[in-house]
Amino acid sequence: MRKRHYDQLAAAVSIVLLAGLGGSSYYLAELSERFPRGTGERKMTHEPDYFVERFSLTRVNERGEPTFRMSAQRLVHFPDDDTSEFARPVLISLDPAKPRLTVTADRGTAGSKGQETHLYDNVVLTRAAEGDKPPLRITTDYVLLLPEQDIARTDRAVRIAYGDSVLTGVGMQFNNAARTLDVQSRVQSRWVGSKSPSP
């Protein structure tokens, strides 16, 4: 009689456990339907994968001659969009066939190909004196630099100093190779000398 009692108790416990397992399975199945399923791939976030202190890079032409150098106190790379951020970047045009141009800023960003560099805050473009031409100094708070074309462009306010002459305006394109400078609007100038010098 006692054995039969234990058998009934064991059967009841088994039924309770199976019912609990079935309920848990149903609950987990319901949860999986409510929440999106993972693809198995880790979602990439905009977080750096490496950084370099006192970064420096020199670009050369097809003859192996240096044409462009970029340095920064710190470079941080982001793998999700393959972009880089720079602290205190310095860019220098080294092509002997073109006027030497130095660009500095507080910070900058560049894409994976390096074809566009965005510079922000206290941006200063300086072209060295050449022959009887004084140095040219451009200050603004943002510049889009296109190294391949040797062009600097901005839609912000600019101040241009050419020797003792000063020109201000909003929006600018400076072509170092062609030696042209276009200021788009709100132009005011104070030229020293008998005629306005060409950049």
Query: Both 13 and 91 in a single domain?
Result: no
On whether the pTM is more than 0.75, the answer is no
Query: Both 109 and 29 in a single domain?
Result: no
Query: Both 138 and 99 in a single domain?
Result: yes
Q: Is the pLDDT of residue 156 over 90?
A: yes
Distance from C-alpha of 133 to C-alpha of 154, rounded to nearest angstrom: 24
Task: Give per-residue pLDDT as tens, 133-149.
Answer: 888 899 999 999 887 78
Domain span at residue 124 reads: 50-190
A 10 A CB-CB count for 192 gives 11
Query: Both 109 and 182 in a single domain?
Result: yes
**Average pLDDT value for residue range 177-189:** 85
More confident residue, 69 or 6: 69
Residue 88: what pLDDT? 95
Q: Is residue 195 part of a domain?
A: no
**Average pLDDT value for residue range 153-163:** 93
**Average pLDDT value for residue range 157-170:** 92
Q: Is residue 103 part of a domain?
A: yes
**Which pairs from 158-164 meet CB under 8 Å and 24+ separation?**
158/183, 160/136, 161/136, 161/137, 162/134, 162/136, 162/137, 162/197, 162/199, 163/134, 163/135, 163/192, 163/197, 164/134, 164/192
Q: Is the pLDDT of residue 104 over 90?
A: yes
Q: Is residue 81 part of a domain?
A: yes
Q: Is residue 43 part of a domain?
A: no
Q: Is the pLDDT of residue 126 over 70?
A: yes
Domain count, the chain: 2
Query: Both 126 and 165 in a single domain?
Result: yes
Q: Is residue 45 part of a domain?
A: no
More confident residue, 4 or 193: 193
**Average pLDDT value for residue range 87-98:** 85
